[in-house]
Structure 1
Amino acid sequence: MIVLLGRFTPGVPAFRWLWVAVYSLFLNLALLPAGFGKHIYGGDMSLRATTRTNYYTLTLTLYLDQANSTPDTYEREIILYIFRKSDHVRVNTATVRQTGSQRVRYDNQACADLRNLSVLGMNYSTDVYLNPATYNDPGGYYVVWDRCCRSADISNIQNPGGEGMVFYMEFPAIVRSGSAFLDSSPAFNFPNGEYICVNKPFKLDFSATDADGDQLRYSLVTPLAGYTDNTPQNTVGDGRSHTTYPEVNWSPGYSAASSIPGNPALKIDPQTGQLSVTASQTGLFIFAVLCEEYRNGVRIGAIRREFQMPVVDCGNNTPPPPIISYRNVETLDLPFCEGATALLSTETNPLWSYQWQRNGSNIPGATAPTLTVTEAGDYAVVKSFATTCGNDTTSKITRARVLPPPAAQITPDKKPPLCEGASLVLSVPQENAVTYQWTADGAVLPGATGTSLTVTKTGLYGVRATSSMECTNRDSLSIVVNPNPKATLTSSASAICQDNEVRLDATVGSQYQYEWYFNTASLNTSDAATRLVGQGGTYQVRITDGNGCQALSAPLTLAVIPRPAMQFDSLAPVCATRSEPLLLAASPAGGTFSGPGVTGSQFDPGKAGAGLHTITYTYAGTSACPVTISRQIRVEPPADVNLPERVSVLMGSTVTLKPTVKGQTNGFLWEPPESLSDPTSLNPEASPEAPTTYKLTVSSPGDCRTEKSVLVDVLKRMFIADVFSPNNDGINDAFEIRNTDQFPDCEITIYNRWGEVVFQSKGYDKPWDGTYRSQKVQAGSYHYLIKTNQPLLPEYRGAVLVTY
């Protein structure tokens, strides 16, 4: 965007106007309040989707006056505000920071320098996350930034020095109807440095690009003034919500449709975005372009750019138009080969300055009399005076066309690689006025100048195609001739045993496929190098490797040997504790037995262990075909029986014998049977008159026997005296308790009438002699407690009388 500083006065020569403008500028700058935006001539915004989901790059581009400002006056960072369009509620803020800059290039640099025109495009950017839960309103959203103030030298609006500026863009919701909606806004192309000469036709490309290919429509609109003003506290917008943003007030005779007066006035092509005008008066004019984005006929977003353009009196001093030459010949059509370059040139003369353009845009740094062309496009050169300011002229368009190279893609007549003994035809498409040369491993093949080549060997084959315009193209194809695989076939046995199978083994290799044949008939194809067969006949295998090369094995013939009749006696269950091995019998004789616990022709249940076992009989005879027959034998474990070593019973009473038995049982037998209620019961009652040992025999499957014994003690009751006289006369001198030997763990405690223990012992080997602490106790009654520690007779309580 280009702005000419100072006030324009029609009829005043340009050089006088310039000095007035410069003086006025310095005076105005000295009087500006801090924070004013008079160095900002305009700008625009864009929003571009990134590769990260829901992340977008938000960019504000400002066009800044370098000639009349310093970098310390440029904003380092700017806060942008994002609002919802439906209710104008602010939903977020984004702080953008300086990310790069680019100078605006002028066609006529001498005039730009003389008019002190130097404009810098400064980009402010940041990546923002748009949360789908927030940015889903069908009405969409807008981004805005308010700033005051404008240059006081603007000719077409009222009070320009006090009017603010608003930078504004709209974008759609990122979720529509529940689905993600991806969109990047349009982005204006970087402008050429231009000024308008009064009364002369002028055109300027003001188009934008859209990353999504959406339709763009352009129109001229009134710039926005916003809500900032030239008071120091209100030079930057504070992000408040507003339903509308005020527009600038046009000076009389001006409007959006006539922002630069002329015949015609400033207008824009709604499809291409090209501005055109033949200005009728000088001045500094502001205008705004709205670029609307449509997808499938629906408006989804918009961007705005504000711009200022000076109209000056360029006078009638115009250089002659430049001529573009190629190889010293004027050319308007420049065909050149793809990948090549073409050097365009114009007159070399220190009186002139040049600015080359491609497709109407200035090429940065292309100000020399020559230009190296590397891509297609419409090229022109703008010629102006090198040291004085005057009109400039533009050459005719030279259209550069990139010629496609001749076709040279090599196509084989069959899919490579080749197998040993095969051939391959390589060919390229035939074109008129094209010559060909084939090579092998970089060496030219004499006479190989046609569109095809037959190859039978490994190598790198290439072709070079050259057109009449000397455009060349090359292609190459590596051809590998692979050896055929080795196909061998072996068997795991020389013959097939009846009802058995033999394994066939073919050559093993990576990515091999095998097609098997029986008596010349194909069986199937697989990637298995082995096959089990049970039929007599002739076998072969065809091997195909990973390159498609094949080989067929030599035939292999196998015969079937019949099997003999086999017999093997059945085996009854046996006990694991059987002492003698079991003799095995099978026919025909001469074979071998195998299996757990088998030694020779005997089976040892103890070695085999409990469980179901398989015994196999193998008979080979005189052939190489062993035949087997199997039988199963169950080895039964004996019952698990537990009995206490001894139990007790009071004389004259009975006790129930209670063994624990685990496992299957067939019967029980107690011995001796005398004094037992039932000697074949698991739990008989015993009533011995004297200590007796009983043996239990438990029978279980497999003819197993388990024996356990228990001793039944016969206990006598205690007999306790009720009086004794410890007077040392040899008669009843001690407290007598009979049969204590039946209760060796008994505990005896004797108390006096006060509850004091006067005697205590475990066992009663030494009876109480009527003393306590070596002194005779007084005559009287003493209580006793006798614990037998025997469940049958838990305890005795009573009293004994001591007399003298």
Structure 2
Amino acid sequence: MLSFLTTGFLLLPATDTTAQLCTGSLGDPVVKLDFGSGSTTHGAALGSAITSYTYTSADFPSDGYYTIESTTNTPNTWWTTTDHTGGGYMMVVNASFSITDYFYKNTVSGLCPETTYEFAAWIMNLLRNSDTSPPDITFTIETTGGTILNTYTTGSIPLQSAPVWKQYGFYFTTPAGISTVVIRMRNNKAGAAPGNDIALDDITFRPCGPAISVALSGGDTSIEICQGLTTAPQMLGNLSGGYSSPSYQWQVSKDNGVTWSDIAGATAANYTLDLTLSNGTYLFRLTAANGGNISSAKCRIVSSHITVKVNAQPVAGSNNPLCQGSTLELYASGSSSYTYAWTGPNGFSSSAQNPVINNITAANNGMYYLTVSGYCSGHDSVFVSAHDLPDVDAGADVSICEGATVALNGTASGSMFYWSPGSSLSDSLSLTPTANPVTTTDYVFTASNEVCDAHDTVVVFVWQKPEVDAGPDKYIIKGTSTILDATSVGGDLLYAWTPGYNITASDVLNPEVSPETDTRYTIVATSSHGCGTASDTVLVKVYEKLSVPNIFSPNGDGINDTWRILQLSNYPDAGITVFNRYGQEVYKGTGYAVEWDGRHKGQLVPVGTYYYVIDLKINKSFEYKGWLEIVY
């Protein structure tokens, strides 16, 4: 026969319509059953071992059906709500017409034998307007063999004026040798329209025991102390009976109660604070269990916590060692609410917690004293020494031609020195390395006395060797001009064109030329930095200008009988085309060995105006267009 503890902190009648949540002290949840979470609206089915109802992915299950979802979406009938914590799924149940089945059953393992637990679950009546059959649920805890350990009935869960999650729970005690139990939930009322529609979430099992409390020896539950105390504060635990052989374990949290750790050796009801704690905020609590059950976190009840804030003793510090010309940064540990007083060399004083001194010199060297007034008052000091900068000289800037080398000349004091970038140097750790840069480069020379670094820079200007391209050949009609399209590479170049006639300027890169005959122009580019010369040649070809008559009379009188175009014989590849006013071609030829006599297909064309296109086959600039009049 199962017997129950009756030591004031719990009462376990067989059925009750009032939730019997723990009135003593609870432990941390040792079991928490929710319905998961996910990115979709609906979760997975539970399976027939957990519920006798049928799964549906509909937002509004029919009688005898359930769904797993993150939010209800039936505003006219049910409350629109999320799960109990607002971050996952809940089980939504529409009761069946049978009251003999269960809508939820689960097996819970890993409990402690002979331990009292609080079982609790969060329930919501989903109906919002009318409820002809309000939810009424019986919870049963039983062994895997079917022995009932305790049962609890909610009674009718009434309608509310807003969606309300309510926690229902009761106690049970595991028998000796029993660590696995079965939780079963059954409707006591049949489904109706509307009626008996609920949401279920967050089922928990927590150890329940007698009331356990903690306080400091003076009765407070929080304290602020300074490091360096000689008398440690005492924490006192009190357990209001209930365990025949109570055991204890103190715990500490360094993250505001998110995680807790057992304190080694702290297994008495009282605890003396460890005075070696670093500054920060700590939470302490006492856990208790009956006898050897204290070894399992699943058997323990826990107290509320005591807050201990540990403040560091005033400490003065700085960013010493420093170099002259840099910024001295002094700093003091402690709260911003404290009062700070600094004094130091060269008449220095400051009330700032972390003062700074810019551009320090040797006059700022010495001891700086700090006085702190506040919860943790005290004195401290820090020595500051500003070191001299080493002497450093990278030498004068220098110019070289592309492909040449040059020796750098650095001078420095101190124990170490180096050049950067070192990839184009013969030895970056030498005072006089050979530099072979591809392009103009800034070389930084650094000297160090192991505390301070000093820097100087030398620029090696790299001048490219000249490159010049006179550009493409040019074609002009005699009497016209063209601009030469020369290009060059290299800095500070001097230009010279030959021959120097029929040219606007012979010392520029792109002059205008107007030769009378075919002419080759040569450009010479000379580096003004002594890095050599380059040259190239371009041909300017000069063509005769055509004189195209716009009238002839092919009437056989021997006078102006053909279309005579002087100079066209110089262009044997020229194309000549003549069109009538309708765009029809009446003459086409290549070259002009035989002058046009006005005939098309052996017949003289009619009197009138015609149009011609003469393409000299050089480029588009050498195309002639116009009109031609034929008379008889």
Q: Which has the larger radius of gyration?
A: 1
Q: TM-score normalised to the size of structure 1?
A: 0.30
Q: TM-score normalised to the size of structure 2?
A: 0.36
Higher relative contact order (CA 8 A, sep 6+): 2
